[in-house]
Amino acid sequence: MIIDIHSHTPNFFMDVDEDITDTGSVNQSMRPDGGGIKFKFSEIEHRKGTKEADKVVVFNMYIGKNPNDATADYVKTDPERIIGFMGLNPKLPHMLDELDRSFYDLGLKGIKLGPIYQDFHPLDKRAYPIYARAEQLGLPILFHQGATFPRKAPLRYANPILLEEIAHDFPNLKIIIAHVGNPWCDETNVLIRKQPNVYADISGLFYRPWQFYQALSLCHEYGCMDKLLFGSDYPIATTEETITGLRNINKVIEGTNLPKIPEDEIEKIIYRDSLSLLGLK
Ligand SMILES: [Zn+2]
């Protein structure tokens, strides 16, 4: 069974303010084919783009608009296959009510947070009640900790190491660091190796082959490959492109003496039962 742990809710376009969309002079081409980011996509496109996955997790961040009803509506189209996570904004006052509504009424089963996009420090005390309730209800939290392009997104909130205290304070909370914390993949590996409740997803990374190889190579050397979860970050990449990217990971070192990442470890990532690891089964 293939479980895609990271994809975005179709038909929901984030209502971001101008500050966060100002990308300055950064080239936004992150698609494997060199094209621009496709932020607008339909349910049909999402199904097609993730069709290799037997189960797929969908979510969007709570920036401006509340994404949770759109996510729940999409889950309803195929509840056997689609698992919805909620977006929450710790800076808004009613977020515990929204967490409860999204869990009890909408049936959403995890949380997506993006401190750099949402402009909060991961250790902000306003976020702590969310962590506590998530731990109590068994909701994993997927954090976007890592690089981004909007000029105003505060990088001081971006390093994955910032999550360590949360992992300590909430030992039963499952934490996932998206994209292996790119470009702080070493920091992510240090963290997932020593904190039992912290995982990383490998989404959105294979099209930077050297960085992808180094991230997984260190993870393999640390012996923590079992903490890596499969995800595509659709619409950034499809599930199929991500599987192919994983299987091609050693191409970048062909003709060198650098150590190969064992193929069986790569296959284990592709077929990992992430839902069981995260307590969602
Ligand atoms: Zn994403």
- Rounded to the nearest angstrom, the distance between the alpha carbon of 81 and the centre of ligand 1 is 19
Question: H helices within 10-88, ranges in order?
Answer: 18-21, 43-49, 68-76
- Rounded to the nearest angstrom, the distance between the alpha carbon of 50 and the centre of ligand 1 is 14
Q: How many domains does the chain have?
A: 1
- Rounded to the nearest angstrom, the distance between the alpha carbon of 256 and the centre of ligand 1 is 33
So what's the pLDDT on residue 13?
Answer: 73
Q: How far is CA 226 from CA 94, 97, 125, 150, 253, in A?
A: 36, 35, 31, 32, 23
So what's the pLDDT on residue 221?
Answer: 98
How far is it, in rounded angstroms, from Cα 55 to Cα 78? 10
How far is it, in rounded angstroms, from Cα 1 to Cα 177? 22
- Rounded to the nearest angstrom, the distance between the alpha carbon of 233 and the centre of ligand 1 is 5
Look-up of token digits 């995982």? 199
- Rounded to the nearest angstrom, the distance between the alpha carbon of 101 and the centre of ligand 1 is 23
Tell me the pLDDT of the chain (281 aa) as tens digits.
Answer: 999 999 999 988 765 554 545 554 444 555 566 666 667 789 999 999 999 999 999 999 999 899 999 999 999 999 999 999 999 999 999 999 999 999 999 999 999 999 999 999 999 999 999 999 999 999 999 999 999 888 888 999 999 999 999 999 999 999 999 999 999 999 999 999 999 999 999 999 999 999 999 999 999 999 999 999 999 999 999 999 999 999 999 999 999 999 999 999 999 999 999 999 999 98
- Rounded to the nearest angstrom, the distance between the alpha carbon of 257 and the centre of ligand 1 is 34
So what's the pLDDT on residue 25?
Answer: 44
Q: What is the DSSP string of 140-184?
A: -EEE--S----TTS-GGG--GGGGHHHHHH-TT--EEEGGGGTT-
Does the reported pTM lie above 0.85? yes
Nearest to 192 by CA among 208, 209, 180, 204: 180
Degrees, nearest 5: CA angle 193-143-50 = 100
Residue 97 structural domain: 3-277
The CATH number assigned to the domain holding 117 equals 3.20.20.140
Contact assessment for residue 56 and residue 49, using Cβ atoms and an 8 Å cutoff: no
- Rounded to the nearest angstrom, the distance between the alpha carbon of 33 and the centre of ligand 1 is 17
So what's the pLDDT on residue 99?
Answer: 98
